Structure 1
Amino acid sequence: MKRFFVLFIVFLSAQLAFSQEIFANVTVNAQQLGGSNQQVYKTLEKNIRDFINNTSWTGKKLQNFEKVKSNFAFVITGREGNKFNGSLVVQAVRPVFNSTYESPLININDTQIVFEYVENENLIFNERQFSGKNLTDIISFYAYLVLGYDGDSFQSLGGQQWFNKAQQISRNAMNKGFEGWSVIEGPRSRGSLIDGIINPNLNNLRSVFYSYHRSGLDNLYNQDQAGPKKIIADGLMKLKLYENTFQQNYAINLFLDTKANEIYSIFDSTNNGAVNMNDLKQLMVTLSPKNIDSKWNKWK
């Protein structure tokens, strides 16, 4: 089977530990602003990296290879005094058993990043109340989102407690004067995303997410790939339940956007066993139309 698209090239242990902490790479890019004083952005980058990697998000102390590998990439496009705005890309991966491949868990671009920051200030997380400056709240929200997706990939609904924490952070932040949180801002706000994930109506998607990884990908590097491929395809076909509502469901869109390259690579083969490729292709065309020409129409 051809090598899949890889987000990060990193050392991988084959151990499938149920990781509960985060090992993050952080970048802050402010090149669009120009100017000679870039030190504040270097300091901000270090503060955020230390905040993510040194905070005990779950209360468990793990070695680095056991943690969820992630990437937080900030692009700062505006600044007025101590107020900054821009975007944030959050990515995370999880190991696949008996391979050197790491599967993308989340790949999200949040374009509504606004926060206040004073150089060298301590970033402190309090899950019970809004910080007042929005930076730690955004980071913490995505930290728990990453942990939730990681948990769901190893155990059925295994990320529930971390999704609950992300939802609490979202609720604390709503109506505090910072954009990107409120459900009334549309289906792609942080509040809409986490409320959709938690909604029992999406338990089917979360069940698919689990079987896709644990019963499918984790067995895909066995000599016989027919069984795992069938499990993955059957799971994906269950998403047909959402074909009339997916456009307004951020969680489904995020799953398909994150997994499109991987799904294409898995079935870009003449050896797909009992998978009905016509049905699978039609579903992908419906749920992920922007990839019709680049991916789904290329399937044999």
Structure 2
Amino acid sequence: MKKTISLFLLLFIYTLSFSQELLATVQVNSQQLGGSNQQAYKALEKSLKDFINTTSWTGKKLQNFEKVKSNFAIVISEKDGNKYKGTIVVQAVRPVYNTTYESPLINLQDQRFAFEYVENENLIFNERQFSGKNLIDVISFYVYLILGYDADSFQSMGGTQWFSKAQQIAQNSQNRGYEGWAPLNEPKSRMILIGEILNPNMAQLRSTFYTYHRAGLDNLFNQDQSAGKKIIFDALMQLKMYENSFQQNYFFNLFIDNKSSEIFSIFDSNNNGGLVMNDLRQLLMVLSPKNSESKWSKWK
């Protein structure tokens, strides 16, 4: 597989058990605000990094190599006293067995991110109630979302307990005066995303997600790649059941967007083990038409 499909390539030690804590980097960008106080943003960056990496999200104590590598990038666009508005990009990757390649689990941009923050304040997570300032709530929601994605990739439906935590945070945060949580009339809201993930109708996508990673990618780098490719091919073909309903599904479209380059690279060769690539090509042209010319039509 081409190295260019890696979100970032890092050396890692692989573990057969799925990770349940994060090893996160955090960037806070305030360039849009001009000459504002940079010290406050550096303090926010450090506070968030410490908060994400030192909070016990699962109750398990793990070595760094067991944790989920992730990144939180925040771009501040507005400031009014201690109130901020901006965008947050959330990314996470998963190691692939017997390689240095890391597969993208999630890569999303949330443009409805408003919060309050006082420099050097303590950030403490309480899953039972809304924090009152939205910062802890949004970050904690995405932490549990990442943990859920990671667990789902190592065990079938293994992320349900962490997705349920994210859903509880979303429920606590509704009707608190902050955008991004509404279950209706707010496309790509956090509540809509987590509701779709836990919807029984999306069980096949979650099953595909597990098979794609654990039985597919983790066996793709053997000398004979045909078995791994066949598993990934069959798993993706199972998504045909969504071809008439995927358009407005945030969860489904995140999967396709995050995996399109990787999927293309897996099958971008003359050695696909006799797979009927036209079947997968036609399906992905329906599920991801924006990639038809740049990716799917280029398969041999």
Aligned to 2:199: 199
Aligned to 1:275: 275
Deviations 1:65-121 (A, max 9, x none): 110000000011111111101101101011100111111100111111000111111
Aligned to 2:161: 161
TM-score with structure 1 setting the length = 0.98
Deviations 1:123-147 (A, max 9, x none): 1100000001000000000000000
Q: Which amino acid aligns with 1:126?
A: N
> How many equivalent residue pairs?
300
1:179 shift after superposition: 0.3
Instruction: Work out the CA distance in 2 between the residues paired with 1:2 and 1:46.
Output: 35
Given the alignment of the two structures, is residue 122 of structure 1 paired with residue 122 of structure 2, yes or no?
Answer: yes
1:17 shift after superposition: 3.1
Structure 1 outlier segments of 4+, above 3 Å:
none
Aligned to 2:23: 23
Q: Which moved more, 1:113-122 or 1:287-296?
A: 287-296
Aligned to 2:179: 179
8 Å contact from structure 2 (residues 180, 186) kept in 1: no
Q: Which moved more, 1:156-165 or 1:238-247?
A: 238-247
Q: Which amino acid aligns with 2:90?
A: V
Pairing 1:99-138 to 2, within 5 Å after superposition = 99-138=99-138
Pairing 1:150-299 to 2, within 5 Å after superposition = 150-299=150-299
1:14 shift after superposition: 2.7
Report the 3-state secondary structure (helix = DSSP H, G, I; strand = E; otherwise coil) of the residue aligned with 1:214: helix
Report the 3-state secondary structure (helix = DSSP H, G, I; strand = E; otherwise coil) of the residue aligned with 1:213: helix
Report the 3-state secondary structure (helix = DSSP H, G, I; strand = E; otherwise coil) of the residue aligned with 1:92: strand
TM-score with structure 2 setting the length = 0.98
1:299 shift after superposition: 1.2
1:187 shift after superposition: 3.7
8 Å contact from structure 1 (residues 44, 119) kept in 2: yes
Instruction: Work out the CA distance in 1 between the residues paired with 2:4 and 2:266.
Output: 8
Q: Which moved more, 1:6-15 or 1:103-112?
A: 6-15
Aligned to 1:7: 7
Give the direction of change, closer, same or farther, for the CA distance of 1:297–1:230 in structure 2 (3 Å limit): same
Instruction: Work out the CA distance in 1 between the residues paired with 2:182 and 2:198.
Output: 16
Pairing 1:84-99 to 2, within 5 Å after superposition = 84-99=84-99
1:4 shift after superposition: 4.7
1:36 shift after superposition: 4.4
8 Å contact from structure 1 (residues 113, 180) kept in 2: yes
8 Å contact from structure 1 (residues 264, 295) kept in 2: yes
RMSD: 1.0
Report the 3-state secondary structure (helix = DSSP H, G, I; strand = E; otherwise coil) of the residue aligned with 1:183: coil
Instruction: Work out the CA distance in 2 between the residues paired with 1:90 and 1:185.
Output: 23
Instruction: Work out the CA distance in 1 between the residues paired with 2:127 and 2:185.
Output: 23
Report the 3-state secondary structure (helix = DSSP H, G, I; strand = E; otherwise coil) of the residue aligned with 2:88: strand
Report the 3-state secondary structure (helix = DSSP H, G, I; strand = E; otherwise coil) of the residue aligned with 1:204: helix
8 Å contact from structure 2 (residues 9, 100) kept in 1: no
Report the 3-state secondary structure (helix = DSSP H, G, I; strand = E; otherwise coil) of the residue aligned with 1:157: coil
Report the 3-state secondary structure (helix = DSSP H, G, I; strand = E; otherwise coil) of the residue aligned with 1:222: coil
1:11 shift after superposition: 2.4
8 Å contact from structure 1 (residues 108, 254) kept in 2: yes
Q: Give unpaired runs (5+ residues) of structure 2.
A: none
Aligned to 1:54: 54
Given the alignment of the two structures, is residue 69 of structure 1 paired with residue 69 of structure 2, yes or no?
Answer: yes
8 Å contact from structure 1 (residues 137, 173) kept in 2: yes
Instruction: Work out the CA distance in 2 between the residues paired with 1:118 and 1:178.
Output: 18
Q: Which moved more, 1:161-170 or 1:288-297?
A: 288-297
